[in-house]
Amino acid sequence: MPKLIKLNCPNCNAVLEVDSDRNQLFCSYCGQKILLVDDEVKVVNVNIRKTVNVNKTVKNVNVDEAGVKKAEAEIRRVSFEEKKYASELRRKNTKIVFMIFLVIAGVLLTTSGFSGLWNDKNANEIAMSLGMFITLLPFLAWMIEVKRSR
């Protein structure tokens, strides 16, 4: 069972109480690091400046690790953006090809209706209106997209 040990801080001489099972503590008055050797009040004075130096080194290591992690994250982000841009470009190209195909098909269908290619008068009219609709469809889609992106 741990018992309380009373000791004086070697730096500021303040009276401190500590559990006997602990082997180090910091003075609550001046921040001095104190090592407890053995079970008894054998106090080893640890230089404050040395403690500060250790902390600084640890901090530097942390900063370097954070920098590396940040750089890695940046590389990941850039490659992700590149992939996203490439797939967007591919999708855009596919869309343009599809729209050109629609316009050509629409114009052909409209022309066929105009020139009376179909035997039936109704069929010619249907071909004309359907053709015009198909021709206008890409323009409608384009207009909607422009409006939405604003």
Binding site for Zn ion (CB under 5 A): 9, 11-12, 14, 27, 29-30, 32
Residue whose CB is less far from Zn ion, 27 or 109: 27
Closest separation in Å from C-beta 11 to Zn ion: 4
Query: How would you label 113-124 residue by residue, b for 16+ Cβ within 10 Å and e otherwise?
Result: beeeeeeeeeeb
Could you tell me the CA-to-CA distances from 147 to 85, 89, 140 in Å, in that order?
Answer: 22, 20, 11
Residue whose CB is less far from Zn ion, 9 or 25: 9
Closest separation in Å from C-beta 27 to Zn ion: 3
Closest separation in Å from C-beta 14 to Zn ion: 5
Residue whose CB is less far from Zn ion, 23 or 111: 23
Phi-psi domain of 33 (left: phi exceeds 0; alpha: psi -120 through 50; beta: other): beta
